[in-house]
Amino acid sequence: MATPTAEPLHQPLAEGSVGNIGLSGGDRPVLAAIVDERDRQRNCIELIASKNFVSPAVLEARGSILTNKYAEGYPQRRYYGGCVNGDVTEDLAIERLNQLFGSTYTNVRPHSGSQAAILALLTPGNTILSVGLDLKAGGHLAHRAAVNLSGRWFSVVSYGMDPESHLIDMDQVAELARTHRPKLLIAGGSAYPRTLDFARFRQIADDTGAVLIVDMAHLAGLVAGDAYPSPIPFADVVTSTTHEKLREPRGGFAKKSNSATFPGLQSGRLMHVIAAKAVAFGETLHPSSRTCSRAVVGYCRVLAQALTDSGLAMTTGGMESHLALVDLRPLGVTGNIAEKALEPVGITLIKNAMPNDPEKPMVTSGIRVGSAAGTSSGFGVDEYRQIAAPMLDTPRALRGGTARSRARTNWWASARPRRSLSAALLTAMIREPVRI
Ligand SMILES: Cc1ncc(COP(=O)(O)O)c(C=O)c1O
């Protein structure tokens, strides 16, 4: 069967239009940016905890002619004709996702699961209780930022961490819920390395009459692979992005949000993205995916251990997921400097505030590292151990006034998953001066 992307379906455009000759023969600036991005993704070690790589099959579905199809409404209940193949892919996506998480009801259409759920459950003026937004609390802007619809339309109260242990202070969550009687209690964020106490969140929601949403954006793949406890038995609604741990295209899903998603939030949906989600959910159902999820957590532990063996500290004293928060103060560099210094040597990560961080949010005293993308691209225990050295040496070199990358040739050369790196490119990258 011909690949779905190979056959142009349209009549030629007007003579001379670059649309007739495809990207490679026509739109050079866009093509160049895509090629550069491909090279960046190939040649960098991705340690941003929310990133991952999709499979060729997902990419193929995402780039397929389903992009030509717009489909308002839900499968078998569309607002117009021609949706039969869209129905097939959307039904498959729903079926597979339910199988993956043992859920009974799923909406795979939202581009943003949290927006769909918030719209489904609240009316403007209601109160949300969610984890604080500042980076040290680990919350996500979709749950509370003043500039986000959550913060603009709703009254938001936030819980935080215990000042000593830096774990979520569940007693504070309970007290705030009793005081403010939120309509919605949200568990989940983007920088919490430990296990969330879903049972206690459930109990607090029950005691105070709140609806409990668990945002498992960072955790969905781990949950699917039994590498993290499932929130499904506890939450009223579970939302997630699909691109973080599930290796799917950018997008979301939410349990129980039909009318909020359509017609509340979106009209027609991106059918090629839904097809790509179906493919990715199918891949995640494969037994090897469970092994991979467990490996992600194990490898993050290896990396965190290598960093702490070198004198750095992890907040909360450890991690139980795919991410760790590392305090850089013993190195004498801030999070933003480390982030910028490491990018030219091929290590991409994100600065992160530490508990009681005296630095501004755009500076920070630490970094967040994660192991999902690296694991997808073939990193193992050896590689995660080896990354620690350049991660520490580059900022150290900066602190010592050396404005050049100290990334080690032998480390790069032995980096198993990036064998496609050309020798010339490798050399160029290693010699690249660090500019801050
Ligand atoms: C915890 C969490 N929730 C939600 C999102 C994304 O939210 P949305 O796509 O709804 O804007 C992210 C990041 O992508 C996240 O880390």
Ligand 1 pocket test, pick from 114, 150, 228, 270 with the greatest ligand atom count within 8 Å of Cβ, gives 114
H or E stretch covering 212:
strand 211-215
What one-character-per-residue DSSP string does 149-184 give? HHHHHSEEEEE-B-TTT-SB-HHHHHHHHHHH--SE
Say what the pLDDT of residue 178 is: 98
Bridge partner residues of 128 (DSSP): 156, 184
Q: Give start and end residues of each alpha helix (H) in 209-286.
A: 220-224, 258-259, 271-285
Say what the pLDDT of residue 227 is: 93
pLDDT tens over the chain, length 436 residues? 555 554 556 666 566 665 566 777 777 888 889 888 888 888 888 999 988 888 889 989 999 999 998 888 888 988 889 999 999 999 999 999 999 998 888 888 887 778 888 888 899 999 999 987 654 567 787 787 788 888 889 999 999 888 889 899 999 999 999 999 999 999 998 889 999 999 999 999 999 999 999 999 889 999 999 999 999 999 998 888 876 555 555 455 555 556 656 666 676 778 999 999 999 999 999 888 888 889 999 999 999 999 999 889 899 988 999 999 999 998 888 999 889 888 888 889 999 988 878 998 889 999 999 999 988 888 888 888 888 888 887 766 666 544 344 343 333 334 433 433 333 333 333 333 322 2
Which protein residue has the closest C-alpha to ligand 1 atom 6? 241
**Topology given in CATH for the domain delimited by 67-285:** Aspartate Aminotransferase; domain 2 (3.40.640)
CA-closest candidate to residue 189, choices 240, 226, 236: 240
Q: Determine contact, residues 304/316, Cβ cutoff 8 Å.
A: no
Q: How far is the CA of 148 from the centre of ligand 1 (A)?
A: 12
CA-closest candidate to residue 432, choices 361, 322, 340: 340
CA-closest candidate to residue 93, choices 108, 104, 82, 105: 108
CATH class held by domain 288-431: alpha beta
Q: How far is the CA of 102 from the centre of ligand 1 (A)?
A: 22
Q: Which residues, judged by CB distance below 6 Å to any ligand atom, belong to the binding site of ligand 1?
A: 50, 112-115, 140, 142, 188-190, 215, 217-218, 241, 252
User: Are the folds of 67-285 and 288-431 the same?
Assistant: no
Indicate the residue type of 208: T
Which protein residue has the closest C-alpha to ligand 1 atom 9? 112
Q: Which two tokens stand for residue 367?
A: 């970094």
Q: How far is the CA of 111 from the centre of ligand 1 (A)?
A: 10
Which protein residue has the closest C-alpha to ligand 1 atom 2? 217
What one-character-per-residue DSSP string does 109-135 give? --S-HHHHHHHHH--TT-EEEEE--ST
Task: Give dist(CA 179, CA 428) in Å, integer.
Answer: 59
Specify the residue for token string 């929130």.
Answer: 231
Q: How far is CA 279 from CA 5, 162, 261, in A?
A: 15, 41, 22
The residue count for the chain: 436
CA-closest candidate to residue 323, choices 140, 138, 171: 138
Atom of ligand 1 nearest to the CA of 250: 9
Which protein residue has the closest C-alpha to ligand 1 atom 16? 190
Q: How far is the CA of 436 from the centre of ligand 1 (A)?
A: 29
Which protein residue has the closest C-alpha to ligand 1 atom 1? 189
Bridge partner residues of 187 (DSSP): 214
Domain ranges of the chain: 67-285, 288-431
Q: Determine contact, residues 303/392, Cβ cutoff 8 Å.
A: no
Cα(first)–Cα(last) distance of the chain, in Å? Answer: 51
Atom of ligand 1 nearest to the CA of 243: 14
Q: How far is the CA of 142 from the centre of ligand 1 (A)?
A: 6
